Structure 1
Amino acid sequence: MPDPTPPLLGLGLYWQQLAVGQRFRSFGRTVTEHDLMGFVALTGMQEPLFVDATHAGALGARPVPAALTHALIEGMLLRGMVHGTGLALLETHIRPKAPVRVGDTIHAEVEVTGVRPTSRGGRAVVACAVRVANQRGEAVMDYDVTRLLAGLPGENAE
């Protein structure tokens, strides 16, 4: 007899499915002019560096805000790792390393650095180190992130 409740496609990982040292890699994502203009319009970052295509500042042509790089990578990681299982973003420490420009393709490499079940059943604090690289493999950002993740349904749930 078929399972009356088939598994949900696109569900993230539960904390019990993660172990310290486990590694993941995201797909690549090309940063477009549309990404840049939409982000600066939404956030109000109307800096000439970002909105004037003829501006050639210290970072060179067409850099994007580090906050946009972080947001794009987090979006990819959320879909792949914690969609539906993430309960809270607890902390993040972002370190930009090099400019990301319109036309660059970025991806993330993730390493689980900590998994600590909480005293409240069915959840754990999970820490990860994230390295963001461009199409040439150059590190453009790294960050540490700590999240609260759900546990497998029915295991130590309150």
Structure 2
Amino acid sequence: MTKTNPGRFFEDYKVGQVIRHAVPRTIAEGERALYHALYPARHALYSSDEFAADCGLDGSPMDDLIAFHVVFGKTVPDISLNAVANLGYAEGRWLRPVMPGDTLHSESEVIGLKQNSNGKSGVVYVRTRGVNQVGETVLEYVRWVMVRKRDQDADAPETVIPELAAVVDPADLIIPEGLSFASYDFELAGEPHRWSDYAIGEKIDHVDGVTIEEAEHMLATRLWQNTAKVHFDATNRDDGKRLIYGGHIISMARALSFNGLANAQMIVALNGGAHANPCFAGDTVRAWSEVLDKAETAAPGVGAIRLRLIATKGDSAGFPLKGDDGKYLPEVLLDLDYWALMPT
């Protein structure tokens, strides 16, 4: 009898099934240092205890995407070990900051299933929660994944496709307790641009680029304990290449967005996202953003800004995202829609 884990296949999932993922992870300051070494991340709120304290917080939280990567990584052995592709995200919300010393574990509920017409795979929809050591949910999101079938002759399950909101309502954004930008130091933050300076429809070219290295993406993926075979095993793909973890591109693009959006300090919601095309070592990632919406909040001096973050290979702006067939052009790597908090 085998004791190893081959991962779940499409026919192993049932709507309503709840999966508690191993292994809990205590987040220490070393995670922050490695994250800032892997990406050009330098938003002030996540870099300085003093800056964060001046904004009403009890010290500098861990970067929002550290929480995302840790929670996501826990789910891989149970959700996407046998995945063909991670297809999208919706209804993501950061519910409370993760502080150094917090311990996170992940839980997922299967909320939808749809077998593909070829009978070889199907799409699994899960709602995942990241929970801290006192049982508080710090992060939740929905994602859907195309997963291989173990037995192509296995009966197709009843199709259930969940109804998902296209955008997280601004009224449902959670503002961290005590957060205030009333005395915000724009000089220390790095840019003078405030919430009121941005216009809906405005596009910002973040100018800078970073060439992806093989060793860095594998270090990052191991850091988040993501065990997906396509990221490590060069024999897992016909082309013999290791696929760059999509979250690596999200973090890279978010870090690049500092140039032009230095004051978009905290990510509080993930409205949607698509990993449009694969990325491989040697590709140079650039990014641009579009302002989609703005909303006021009840916190002193804090506004919410909805941003569309695009990561590309090569030039960062100046070409359409999709071709006449409605598919993403091959240069497009990431199309991410999120809400962030910014001083008004």
TM-score of the aligned structures, taking structure 1 as reference length = 0.85
Paired position in structure 2 for 1:65: 63
How far apart in 2 are the matches of 1:74 and 1:149?
Answer: 16
Query: Which amino acid in structure 1 is aligned with residue 105 of structure 2?
Result: H
Q: 1:15 offset after TM fit, Å?
A: 0.8
Q: 1:91 aligns with which of 88, 93, 100?
A: 88
Query: Which amino acid in structure 1 is aligned with residue 28 of structure 2?
Result: T
Q: 1:117 offset after TM fit, Å?
A: 0.2
How far apart in 2 are the matches of 1:37 and 1:14?
Answer: 36
Q: 1:11 offset after TM fit, Å?
A: 2.4
Q: 1:54 offset after TM fit, Å?
A: 3.8
Please say if residues 59 and 99 of structure 1, whose CA atoms lie closer than 8 Å, have aligned partners that are also in contact.
Answer: no
Please say if residues 20 and 114 of structure 1, whose CA atoms lie closer than 8 Å, have aligned partners that are also in contact.
Answer: yes
Residue aligned with 2:45, SS: helix
Residue aligned with 2:38, SS: helix
How far apart in 1 are the matches of 2:4 and 2:57?
Answer: 41
Q: 1:16 aligns with which of 11, 23, 33?
A: 11
Query: Which amino acid in structure 2 is aligned with residue 49 of structure 1?
Result: L
Please say if residues 80 and 145 of structure 2, whose CA atoms lie closer than 8 Å, have aligned partners that are also in contact.
Answer: no
Q: 2:119 aligns with which of 121, 133, 137?
A: 121
Give the number of equivalent residue pairs.
150
Please say which structure displays the higher CA radius of gyration: 2
1:40/1:59 CA distance change after superposition, 3 Å: farther
1:122/1:140 CA distance change after superposition, 3 Å: same
Residue aligned with 1:121, SS: coil
Structure 1: gaps spanning 5 or more residues: 1-5
Please say if residues 53 and 61 of structure 1, whose CA atoms lie closer than 8 Å, have aligned partners that are also in contact.
Answer: yes
TM-score of the aligned structures, taking structure 2 as reference length = 0.41
For the aligned residues, what is the CA RMSD? 2.0
Paired position in structure 2 for 1:74: 72
How far apart in 1 are the matches of 2:148 and 2:78?
Answer: 15
For residues 139-150 of structure 1, what are the structure 2 equivalents within 5 Å? 139-150=137-148
Q: 1:121 offset after TM fit, Å?
A: 1.9
How far apart in 1 are the matches of 2:100 and 2:120?
Answer: 42
How far apart in 2 are the matches of 1:81 and 1:125?
Answer: 11
Mean Cα displacement is larger for which, 137-146 or 32-41?
Answer: 32-41
Do residues 130 (structure 1) and 128 (structure 2) align? Answer: yes
Q: 1:50 offset after TM fit, Å?
A: 1.9
Mean Cα displacement is larger for which, 128-137 or 71-80?
Answer: 71-80
Paired position in structure 2 for 1:110: 108
How far apart in 2 are the matches of 1:139 and 1:35?
Answer: 20
Paired position in structure 2 for 1:3: none
Query: Which amino acid in structure 1 is aligned with residue 18 of structure 2?
Result: R
Please say if residues 71 and 129 of structure 2, whose CA atoms lie closer than 8 Å, have aligned partners that are also in contact.
Answer: no
Of structures 1 and 2, the one scoring higher in RCO (CA 8 A, sep 6+) is 1
Q: 1:7 offset after TM fit, Å?
A: 5.5
Residue aligned with 1:136, SS: coil
How far apart in 2 are the matches of 1:8 and 1:116?
Answer: 30
Query: Which amino acid in structure 1 is aligned with residue 78 of structure 2?
Result: G
Structure 2: gaps spanning 5 or more residues: 155-344
Please say if residues 40 and 50 of structure 1, whose CA atoms lie closer than 8 Å, have aligned partners that are also in contact.
Answer: no
After superposition, give the CA deviation of every residue in 1:30-76 in whole Å (9 maximum; x if it has no partner). 11111111112322221232222444233431311221111111111
